[in-house]
Structure 1
Amino acid sequence: MITDPQGTILALFLAFCRIGACVMVLPGFSSGRVPQQVRILVAVALSMAVLPVLWDVIYPKASSAAPGAYLSLVFSESLIGAMYGMMARLYTIGLQFAGTIISMSIGFSAPGGMDIIEDTSESSLISLIGFCGLMILFMLDFHHYVFRALVDSYSSIPLGGHLEMRATLISFTDTLQTTTYIMLRLASPFLLYGLLFQVSIGFINKLAPQIPVYFVSTPYLLMGGLFMFYLAIARLLTQFADAFLSVYNGH
């Protein structure tokens, strides 16, 4: 039996602020294809599941906080949850960066269409890479690691504690730096392929300037790039998924 309904609701809402803000920006859950009602229900269900575990941490401060202090808790909890979700989102956005490099290197300049995940315009190759990478992460239960880190965050960043903005910015920059290195490493074979192909075509153009080399070489560039992409896509996505925990847990 609930002896303090008001305090229970206040504690549940504080748990919802941290978890709901994380779900709001978490890859997959924050997709434009997912209805807002589904996102809210997922966040509420997770908050109700987590609240009994963290009851002794959340309830005392939620039930005894003044109105002004409670609003401050709501703001800080939402900021902490968004920070944890944004860490994972930055890594998945990096896969779109790698896909853009790959498509430019192999000469895939098809007009953009609607993205599978977001409400943005992307080429079919970038959409394919982004969707496959996110699907692999969900198959490996990456969201479980994020939610576990969110629950563990109550020990590192307790309820009512101040979020160190300097440390947060350092974590964001470190995540961006590591993600950029990983994506450049994944796209490096295609960068080398495009560079060597363009240099070779440039030499051919110098030897036979009367031949329209650009129109002749583009189909071969695209054909070789797509064949290379066919051979490398499995290994590319595997390395992308394997590096997620090292990036996320490292910050």
Structure 2
Amino acid sequence: MEPWATSDQVWQGALIFGRIGAVLLMLPGVGESYVPPRIRLSLALVVTLALWPVVSGALPPLPETLGAMAGWIIREVIVGLMIGALLRAFTTALSTAGEIVSLQTALSFAQTANPLQAQPGTTISAFLMLLGTTLIFATNTHHLFIAGLVGSYELIAPAKPLITGDFTELAIRTLGDSFMLGVQLSAPVIVFALIFNLASGLVGRVMPQFQVFFAAAPLGIILGLSVFALSLGVLGTVFIDRYQALARIFAGGAGG
């Protein structure tokens, strides 16, 4: 072990830190606003030191000009933001599912502060976002993030051109899949709301004198939340399986 770092080693560490820091800035749980910046920077530095012996061979040599150095650093930061944005975008499936469940149970006006988003959301949506973040760490899915960081140096090597076209296609597909998954996760409540509203309308037609709204509103909330609670286990399992499949896209580069 050398007691000092050479200029090439400092340059390689800066490149790795640029990508790792950008990814950790966007990751669910780690990149939230309530996490102190010192914690995130310290974690990025530790991960950089851990990955340097593994990925240093894929890094370009030290450029001769300051402009070239800045260009490489900016490129690595952009790559890190791209990867982190994809991993964060998929968590919007839980937000979509929470909004749909809130609409179907007449709780869409129950707004609360969502610590995982920049704006308030429905209570159910905030609950599902926190549940998803908890499942990510409880199932050790964050280990796939570390493997994905290593694999990203094979999928998006610094010495190769930036694959903006492939990333755009993957981003569009990820957003589409996340919205579809959000609808699928809320499907039990959607089916219940459809049947319940049809039954309420039928009762209103058969018994015009009966105050359907006053009886159906609280009953719909109670039964809707009950169906949501019963499907919560399947909801979490399906989400974490799909999220792990997305993380393995980047982690596959490390395994190959």
Structures share fold, TM-score greater than 0.5? yes
Does structure 1 residue 248 correspond to structure 2 residue 227? no
Task: Quote the residue 2:25 is aligned against.
Answer: 24
Task: Quote the residue 1:39 is aligned against.
Answer: 40
SS state at 2:31 partner: coil
Deviation at 1:245, TM superposition (A): 2.2
Where do 1:1-251 residues align within 5 Å? 1=2, 5-58=6-59, 61-250=60-249
Contact persistence 2:98–2:122 (CA under 8 A): no
Distance 2:168 2:71 in 1: 21
**Letter paired with 1:46:** V
Deviation at 1:3, TM superposition (A): 6.2
The C-alpha deviation readout for 1:87-115, integer Å capped at 9, x for no partner, is 21111121111111112112223521222
Distance 1:103 1:197 in 2: 15
Deviation at 1:9, TM superposition (A): 2.0
Structure 2: 5+ residue stretches without partners: 251-256
TM-score, normalised relative to structure 2: 0.89
The C-alpha deviation readout for 1:57-113, integer Å capped at 9, x for no partner, is 32xx24244222211111111111111111211111211111111121122235212
**Letter paired with 1:172:** A
Deviation at 1:231, TM superposition (A): 1.3
Structure 1: 5+ residue stretches without partners: none
Deviation at 1:250, TM superposition (A): 4.6
- Provide the alpha-carbon RMSD of the alignment: 1.9
Identity rate, percent: 24
Task: Quote the residue 2:254 is aligned against.
Answer: none
Contact persistence 1:26–1:89 (CA under 8 A): yes
Distance 1:178 1:109 in 2: 23
The C-alpha deviation readout for 1:181-210, integer Å capped at 9, x for no partner, is 222221111111111111221222223334
Deviation at 1:4, TM superposition (A): 5.2
Distance 1:147 1:22 in 2: 10
Deviation at 1:247, TM superposition (A): 3.1
**Letter paired with 1:42:** L
Deviation at 1:8, TM superposition (A): 2.2
Distance 1:124 1:225 in 2: 14
Larger displacement relative to structure 2 (94-103 or 141-150):
141-150
SS state at 1:109 partner: coil
Q: Label 1:109 to 1:184 Cα distance change in 2 as closer, same or farther (>3 A).
A: closer
**Letter paired with 1:185:** Q
Distance 2:170 2:40 in 1: 26
Distance 2:244 2:213 in 1: 43
Deviation at 1:119, TM superposition (A): 4.6
Task: Quote the residue 2:253 is aligned against.
Answer: none
Contact persistence 1:33–1:118 (CA under 8 A): no
Distance 2:6 2:249 in 1: 39
Distance 1:227 1:145 in 2: 34
Contact persistence 1:106–1:226 (CA under 8 A): yes
Contact persistence 2:148–2:249 (CA under 8 A): no
**Letter paired with 2:113:** M
